[in-house]
Amino acid sequence: MGRIEVRDFDGDLAVLADLAYGTLLDERGAGTWLDLNRPEAARLIFADVPDPRFLIGAYDGTRLVAFIANLPRTYRLNGQTYRAVVPTMLAAHRDYRGAVVYLLAECLRRNREFGTDLALFYLERGSRSWRMFEQVLRPTYRIERVKTLHARVRVVDLARVAHAQNVSGLLRTAGQLIGLQRPITAPAVTGVVRPYQDADLDAIQALLQRQADRDCLVRVFTQPALARRLHTPPMTTTLVYERSAAVRGFVNFTVHELLSRRGRQRWAWLDFLAWDGLGGSERQALLAGLWQASRAQSCIGIVEWSKGYYGPGPLWRAGFFPYPLRIEVNAWLFNPALSLRNVTGLCEQVV
């Protein structure tokens, strides 16, 4: 092992993917993980990074041995706007795990340099990253636990979900009997559910700007970033509900690949949803469109997280069910006047 140098990532996505796959295979074993490192996913994530200093690598000579993306964000909360980062894609070669300490120290230095108010962490409870966070960072820094997100799932292809999750034949038969993969039926409505068009951008941004931020952390987008989030084939897809020639609601999802020793599975992760102006039948019609669009992109199911900024009732009625997976949202606070202890909603994607 040579001298470790922490510097801006050089942009080699193939090398980053090799590092990450080796790291995650070692950490997860027989488990499943979200593949953010395949080229189309990484390019979409990094497209919102305006400065190379937000992507940090640890190098042994020219060899990348550890990496973290420190994604810049802007949020609204209780009438105030805050500058934030979302650290993600942390990876370290098994022989260089100590380099993570240097990466985090450099993140802290750069966050202060950028005038960051908070860093938002998504961590799966029980993972190696979660244990390091609990043992090393939480006792030392001002960190608040914001919210626990619980997964809710809607099956699209039961046979493939059963294979991916190693479900027994008996449980699979039971799932068929109760209709787990039955399509969501669209009722008769006065409006129409249709794919997003570029002309919808202003209307969707207005819907997001109207999202209440009372005890809710709400993502603020620039128009270029929002346009990428709404429609970047084959990664992101948006459906709108149009009535009387106006966009009244929308649903947005990312096609993620979950990777394990049993192979890859495509899932539609619900990212943003706005439907306050829709009736019950209209909401079901929008969810029916989501199911059909997910199926058209060969997704085996839909994952939704309990973010708390909309009611889950229509989801339950559309056949979503609780899944035993949870993610902890934590905030590393740099602004002494800021606290997120009372936050009950999170209008943001999970990465």
pLDDT tens-digit map of 268-292: 999 999 999 999 999 999 999 999 9
Assign 197 a pLDDT band (cuts: 50, 70, 90): very high
Residues 158 and 181: beta-carbon distance below 8 Å: yes
Report d(CA 58, CA 41) in Å as an integer: 21
Q: At what angle do helices 223-230 and 201-209 cross, to 10 degrees?
A: 110
**Could you read off the pLDDT of 291-301 as tens digits, one per residue?**
999 999 999 99
Superfamily of domain 4-150 in CATH is Gcn5-related N-acetyltransferase (GNAT) (3.40.630.30)
Question: What percent of the chain has a predicted confidence (pLDDT) above 70?
Answer: 92
Give SS3 for 334: coil
Return the number of other C-beta atoms located less than 10 Å from residue 303's C-beta. Answer: 22
pLDDT at 33 over 90: no
CATH class of 151-324: alpha beta
What tokens were used for 56? 């940090």
pLDDT of residue 27: 64
pLDDT of residue 179: 64
Output 94 or 300, whichever has higher pLDDT.
300
What tokens were used for 275? 């439907």
pLDDT at 249 over 90: yes
Residues 111 and 11: beta-carbon distance below 8 Å: no
Assign 170 a pLDDT band (cuts: 50, 70, 90): very low
Tell me whether residue 300 is exposed, middle or buried, using C-beta atoms within 10 angstroms of its C-beta: 0 to 12, 13 to 18, 19 or more: buried
Start and end residues for every CATH 3.40.630.30 domain found in the chain: 4-150, 151-324
Beta strands in 207-287 (DSSP E): 216-219, 236-243, 246-260, 263-274
> pTM value?
0.92
**H/E element holding 114?**
helix 99-114
Least confident of 29-43, 89-103, 162-176: 162-176
